[in-house]
Structure 1
């Protein structure tokens, strides 16, 4: 009702200020309705490229001018860039960031670590954070780099990568199956080199949908990691799309589900974390900011409730970051609470894992 009133006021102002006739304004209104309420929904529904690009946003390559081969230019000293090729021929760009206590031990004399020893240090016993980012950008996103620095300061290795279609990875059309396969390949690569070092899988935003699916599959197969961290998660992508700000234009339209939600299932983009979490048999930590404008806090609450339906409460942690701190969707990494929360969760998860 408010939107309609605002639109009418705008039309009246155009008529009064610019002298546009009511007939012309009617034609303009009909044109807007035709484009926004008929053409756009039909294009979204019948052209799979459109919802795929809106879910994954691989074309938003920020920041510009990143040299992925030189992570030190992104402020990450003692970090290695390399590439792996998956079983289906997709090349993935990867960074391995050493924990602070490892830097001096592997220095080659000029202050930078010798790349030949990076893989060997993965089995040193220090926990490994396997980070899966959200949509848009790359592993070099500024808020992601902030988080890597927090984690390495705690004493953890950080291994992060770009899915297919992102950054300097192969430009292959993404899908849920595809990005979960990429994450799974990287996990297996890590597992082969980690020895007895704990691996904590960490997903942010869309990456929580990737990691929930991937870790559930690993648990079913008996190759589970030490723990799973879900930062700013949704419960499933259909609810996230339905509650998204852009969807408010169409939410009350007849056929909204068929027009906007059905293409997600038809084109392999469901990301049903609330279903997959039933098979996640490792400790889980969920973190969400109340003022998240991208993924509503309520969806994290729903995911937490889904987890509690299948797992004991002492294995599922939920941490709220109050709106007064303005962390939003990306900046929980700036909370002074975060290092302690992560350290305690990782230690408890290692203890739980060792008892199994």
Structure 2
């Protein structure tokens, strides 16, 4: 888990950080002692209209913007080294807003200025509470996008919500692993220990014993909505074959799934699939923007 973002506190002015569209910073109380930080970025046409409103940053303004219009809502879940105000999250917010979608980005407990301690089950609860808040405003219009570790959170929550008949319209899994165990095994900074087989295996097993399982390979079988998988071949953090494995698992179980693997020549690495020339078309297909 990433604890470095705990020192990032100044997230109250998204515009200063590079968000191009009107964005509200707010907090949701998940449970006693756990309050998560959230950014809500308006679609570009609503952003322009709202800028002339004296109450443009009030909760009611943003909630009304979701309720009164048919724009789609995308909740973005960052990876283990991200937070809602880093470059990756801002690029996602700007991309979604430019496509006339609401962009919602959260920091899980223990990340950035969200209170509480990092905890896998807690991460799922954080997303569920946020999702259900948005669901009351926009049922049938919500999509989930998860990057790396965020993809594991998205997959599990989508599976759980599907059982409640309140699942998202689709999920986008970017640069995802099959499980936390597999991610640990192939993490590049652990290569020095691979020659010590027993030590390496013990450390990986301890990762799972501390409830850091994140079994995408299991949870994807229970997802009921369409799935889009994207990964770059030159991802040096999470090998792209893990996305291929997830695709096979989902396809063989009868899921509606699509996979796009980007070539090394594009130099997208672990975090920049959004820069691919064809990503706009992928996003439009994922969000059914032409329907």
TM-score by length of 2: 0.93
Q: Deviations over 1:62-110 (max 9, x none)?
A: 8x6x631111111223100011101344100000000101112223357
- 1:257 CA displacement: 5.9
| Structure with max Cα Rg | 1
Question: Contact 1:69–1:81 at 8 Å: present in 2 too?
Answer: yes
Structure 2 counterpart of 1:138: 83
Distance 2:32 2:156 in 1: 19
- 1:326 CA displacement: 0.6
Structure 1 counterpart of 2:215: 272
Question: Contact 2:236–2:270 at 8 Å: present in 1 too?
Answer: yes
Distance 2:188 2:139 in 1: 45
Greater percentage in helix: 1
Alignment of 1:1-356 (within 5 A): 56-60=1-5, 67-76=10-19, 77-109=21-53, 113-115=56-58, 116-123=60-67, 124-170=69-115, 172-196=116-140, 198-256=141-199, 258-312=201-255, 315-347=256-288
Question: Contact 2:93–2:104 at 8 Å: present in 1 too?
Answer: no
Structure 2 counterpart of 1:42: none
What's the Cα RMSD here?
2.0
What 5-or-longer segments of structure 2 have no aligned partner? none
Aligned length: 288
Distance 2:246 2:190 in 1: 21
Cα 1:194–1:273 shift into 2, 3 Å? same
Cα 1:61–1:332 shift into 2, 3 Å? farther
- 1:255 CA displacement: 2.1
Distance 1:254 1:152 in 2: 47
Q: Deviations over 1:7-27 (max 9, x none)?
A: xxxxxxxxxxxxxxxxxxxxx
